[in-house]
Amino acid sequence: MRETTTQELFNRLDDPNLKPIDTRPADAYNGWPLENEKRGGHIRGARSLPEKWSHYIDWLEILQSKGLTPENELVIYGYDPEKTEKVARQFVKAGFEKVRSYHGFKEEWSANETYPVESLQRREQLVPAGWLYRAAVDQRDPDTLEPLSVTGRRIVIGHAHYQNPDDYHAGHIPGAIPLDTNWLEDPATWNRRTPEELASTLTQLGITHDTTVVLYGRFSYPDNNDPYPGSSAGQLGAFRCAFLMLYAGVKDVRMLNGGMQAWEDAGYAVSTEVVQPEPVGDFGAKIPGMPELAIDLQEAEQVLNSENSNLVSVRSWSEFIGKVSGYNYIKKKGRIPGVVFANCGSDAYHMENYRNLDHTTREYHEIEQLWAEAGITPEKYNAFYCGTGWRGSEAFFNAWLMGWPDIAVYDGGWFEWSNAGKPYETGEPKTSI
Q: Let me know whether 224 and 319 are in one domain.
A: no
* Over residues 51-66, mean pLDDT: 94
* Over residues 277-286, mean pLDDT: 97
Q: What are phi and psi of 343, to 5 degrees?
A: -45, 120
- Looking at 31-86, which runs of residues are DSSP E strands? 42-43, 47-48, 73-77
pLDDT at residue 424 above 70? yes
Q: Let me know whether 222 and 110 are in one domain.
A: no
Q: Let me know whether 297 and 283 are in one domain.
A: no
Residue 425 in any domain: the answer is no
Q: In which domain, by residue range, is 347 found?
A: 292-419
d(CA 256, CA 128): 6
d(CA 155, CA 135): 8
Residue 162 in any domain: the answer is yes
Given 119, 150, 175, the domain boundary residue is 119
Q: Which of 160, 233, 386, 399 is catalytic?
A: 386
Q: Let me know whether 315 and 410 are in one domain.
A: yes
* Over residues 112-133, mean pLDDT: 98
Residue 426 in any domain: the answer is no
d(CA 204, CA 200): 6
Given 119, 153, 182, the domain boundary residue is 119
Q: What is the share, in percent, of the chain residues with pLDDT greater than 90?
A: 93
Q: Let me know whether 299 and 197 are in one domain.
A: no
Q: Do residues 358 and 386 touch, judged by C-beta distance below 8 A? A: no
- For 331-353, what is each residue's pLDDT tens digit? 999 999 999 999 999 999 889 99
pLDDT at residue 262 above 90? yes
- For 383-395, what is each residue's pLDDT tens digit? 999 999 999 999 9
Given 289, 304, 335, the domain boundary residue is 289
Q: Place 305 in a pLDDT band, splitting at 50, 70 and 90.
A: very high
Q: What is the pLDDT of residue 229?
A: 47
CATH of the domain at 313: 3.40.250.10
The CA R_g of the chain, rounded to the nearest whole Å, is 22
Task: Tell me the helix, strand and coil percentages in the chain, rounded to 5.
Answer: 35, 15, 50
Residue 400 in any domain: the answer is yes
Structural domain count, the chain: 3
Least-confidence region, from 24-33, 55-64, 279-288 = 55-64
Paired sense of beta strands 117-118 and 42-43, if any: antiparallel
DSSP 3-state assignment of 125?
helix
Paired sense of beta strands 212-217 and 155-161, if any: parallel
Q: Let me know whether 249 and 146 are in one domain.
A: yes
Q: How many CB atoms lie within 10 A of CB 69?
A: 11
Q: Let me know whether 156 and 281 are in one domain.
A: yes
Residue 431 in any domain: the answer is no
Residue 356 in any domain: the answer is yes
Q: What is the share, in percent, of the chain residues with pLDDT greater than 70?
A: 96
Q: Let me know whether 248 and 301 are in one domain.
A: no
- Angle, vertex CA 257, rays to CA 273 and CA 374, nearest 5: 140
Q: Let me know whether 244 and 165 are in one domain.
A: yes
User: Which pTM value belongs to this model?
Assistant: 0.96
Q: What are phi and psi of 255, to 5 degrees?
A: -115, 140
Q: Let me know whether 267 and 148 are in one domain.
A: yes
Q: What is the pLDDT of residue 232?
A: 59
- Cα atoms in the Cβ-side hemisphere of radius 13 Å centred on 394: 36
386 is catalytic: yes
pLDDT at residue 399 above 60? yes
Residue 1 in any domain: the answer is no
Q: Let me know whether 285 and 170 are in one domain.
A: yes
Pairs from 10-13 (Cβ < 8 Å, separation ≥ 24): 10/114, 10/115, 13/43, 13/44, 13/45, 13/116
Residue 433 in any domain: the answer is no
Q: What is the pLDDT of residue 431?
A: 64
* Over residues 47-73, mean pLDDT: 94
Q: Let me know whether 154 and 278 are in one domain.
A: yes
Mean pLDDT over the full length of the chain = 95
Q: What is the pLDDT of residue 105?
A: 97
d(CA 246, CA 252): 8
* Over residues 306-329, mean pLDDT: 96
Q: What is the pLDDT of residue 233?
A: 74
